[in-house]
Amino acid sequence: MNTTEVGDMLAMVNASLNAMSAVALFSGFYFIRRKVIDNHKRAMLTAVGASALFLVFYLARVALTGTHEFAGEGLARTVYLTVLVSHMILAVLVLPFVLRLLWLVRKERFAEHKRLARFVFPVWAYVSITGLLVYILLYQIYGYA
């Protein structure tokens, strides 16, 4: 397996981790709305774990293959770049808030956790879903140069 093939495989793993994070986030939301706290906790820890693994594998992929230029043109390129830039900015911004949510739970400050999670959840969900969308556009539909 050459470097490009390993990089493409890592990209697929990362897309799977983004999908896993999204499913776990929405599962956690479902469970907390029904006050099934243990399942909510498991789902959210799964989302954190998937997101952390994503970061490790993403950095490994970039170290191996660098960044890729999107091969699509016109409107497709504009949509891709808009999704990519918003995904990247929000991924960086959401990280300290996710860490804060974990800290609040550890300190049993559930009211503050709940207030903050109302804002963090949709951003984190967006980051997970758009990460999968970026993969589909870049690796499955249009390809890269």
Two structure tokens written together for 24:
């776990």
Domains recognised in the chain with CATH numbers: 3-141 (1.20.120.80)
The DSSP symbol for 63 reads H
d(CA 127, CA 76): 19
- Assign 145 a pLDDT band (cuts: 50, 70, 90): confident
Bridge partner list, 144: 70
CB 132, CB 22: distance < 8 Å: yes
- pTM beyond 0.85: the answer is yes
- pLDDT tens-place string over residues 63-109: 999 999 999 999 999 999 999 999 999 999 999 999 999 999 999 99
Which of 64-88 are b and which e, b meaning 16 or more Cβ less than 10 Å from the residue's Cβ? ebeebebebeeeeeeebeebbeebe
